């Protein structure tokens, strides 16, 4: 059977992929990956000592909301790209909304801040390590999500790899929030996003090799 014929059959539902539904596979992978990321964080880092006070602050939940929304958008993209022929028209919108939201909050914070405070809001104290630590914590999530995706039927492999990597980075960023002391929207909107884009870029580069079926 030719590849194009197989893709057409899969897209039309003539051939089913054995095993649990795709959403169920991804949720299990995210759960195991997040557990691995959490254990890795406890091993290498630590939970912030003032977490009990931090969770009372609105910006803590804005930060959590941003990366959780990015993870949800990444999951939506991964689900769409795991089906041959599925439309992805809404994927850029889903991915862009959380980013535009945090950037809007960041712009307002920078406008309201004194000029001398703006650099602090953007760079914080951990800009050199934040993206790398998020990327590091994403490793177990990345492995679990890519395995789930490989067992499905992605055909746009680079895009699928990017979505899997972005999902992994965003889940890792949620875990990283329990350690990170930074609370500025400009910091979160740039450095957290960069941290999620590192595994996304790696996923795009490795998609052709890992996801080929």
DSSP string, 90-104: THHHHHHHHHHHHHH
Please list the pLDDT of the chain residue by residue as tens digits (213 residues): 444 554 554 455 444 445 568 889 999 999 999 999 999 999 999 899 999 999 999 999 999 999 999 999 999 999 999 888 778 888 999 999 999 999 999 999 999 999 889 999 999 999 999 999 999 999 999 999 999 999 888 888 999 999 999 999 999 999 999 999 999 999 999 999 999 999 999 999 998 888 887
- Cα 141 → chain centroid: 9
Q: Please state the separation of Cα 164 from the chain's center in Å.
A: 8
Domain of residue 163 covers 37-42+55-210
Distance separating the N- and C-terminal Cα atoms of the chain: 14
| Helix/strand number for the chain, H first, E second | 10, 0
Find out whether 197 and 166 touch, Cβ atoms under 8 Å.
yes
- Write down the pLDDT at residue 8: 54
| Farthest CA pair distance, the chain | 66
Would 113 be classed as within a structural domain? yes
Task: Look at the chain and report how many structural domains it folds into.
Answer: 1
Cβ atoms of 210 and 147 closer than 8 Å: no
Tell me the two tokens of residue 130. Answer: 């934040």
Report d(CA 165, CA 162) in Å as an integer. Answer: 5
Distance between CA 10 and CA 40 in Å, rounded? Answer: 38
Q: Answer yes or no: is 32 within a domain.
A: no
Among the listed residues 99, 51, 94, 68, the one whose alpha carbon sits nearest the alpha carbon of residue 174: 68
E strands present in the chain: none
Report yes or no on 176 lying in a domain. Answer: yes
Six-digit token string for 81: 């790209």
Query: Is 158 contained in some domain?
Result: yes
The single-letter DSSP state of residue 138 is H
Does a structural domain hold residue 25? no
Asked whether residue 143 is assigned to any structural domain, the reply reads yes
Statement: the pTM of the whole predicted model exceeds 0.75: yes
* Within-domain flag for 102: yes
Contacts of 159 (CB under 8 A, 6+ apart): 81, 88, 204, 207
CA 5, 7, 10, 12 torsion-angle sign: negative
The answer to whether residue 16 is domain-embedded is no
- Reading the block at residue 64, the tokens are 């959590």
């Amino acid at each position: 059977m030719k590849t194009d014929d197989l893709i057409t059959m899969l897209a039309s539902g003539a051939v089913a992929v054995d095993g649990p539904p795709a959403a169920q596979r991804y949720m299990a992978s995210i759960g195991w990956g997040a557990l691995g990321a959490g254990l890795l964080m406890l091993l290498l880092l630590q939970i912030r000592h003032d977490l009990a006070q931090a969770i009372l602050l609105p910006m803590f939940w804005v930060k959590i909301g941003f990366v959780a929304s990015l993870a949800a958008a990444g999951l939506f993209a991964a689900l769409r790209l795991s089906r041959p022929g599925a439309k992805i028209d809404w994927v850029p919108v889903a991915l862009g909304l959380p980013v535009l939201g945090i950037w809007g909050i960041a712009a307002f914070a920078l406008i309201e801040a004194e000029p001398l405070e703006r650099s602090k809001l953007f760079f914080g104290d951990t800009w050199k390590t934040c993206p790398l630590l998020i990327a590091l914590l994403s490793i177990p999530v990345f492995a679990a999500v890519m395995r789930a995706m490989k067992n499905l039927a992605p055909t746009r492999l680079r895009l699928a790899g990017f979505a899997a990597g972005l999902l992994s980075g965003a889940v890792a960023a949620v875990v990283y929030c329990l350690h990170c002391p930074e609370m500025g929207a400009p910091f979160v909107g740039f450095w957290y996003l960069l941290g999620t884009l590192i595994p996304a870029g790696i996923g795009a580069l490795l998609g052709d090799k890992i996801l080929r079926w």
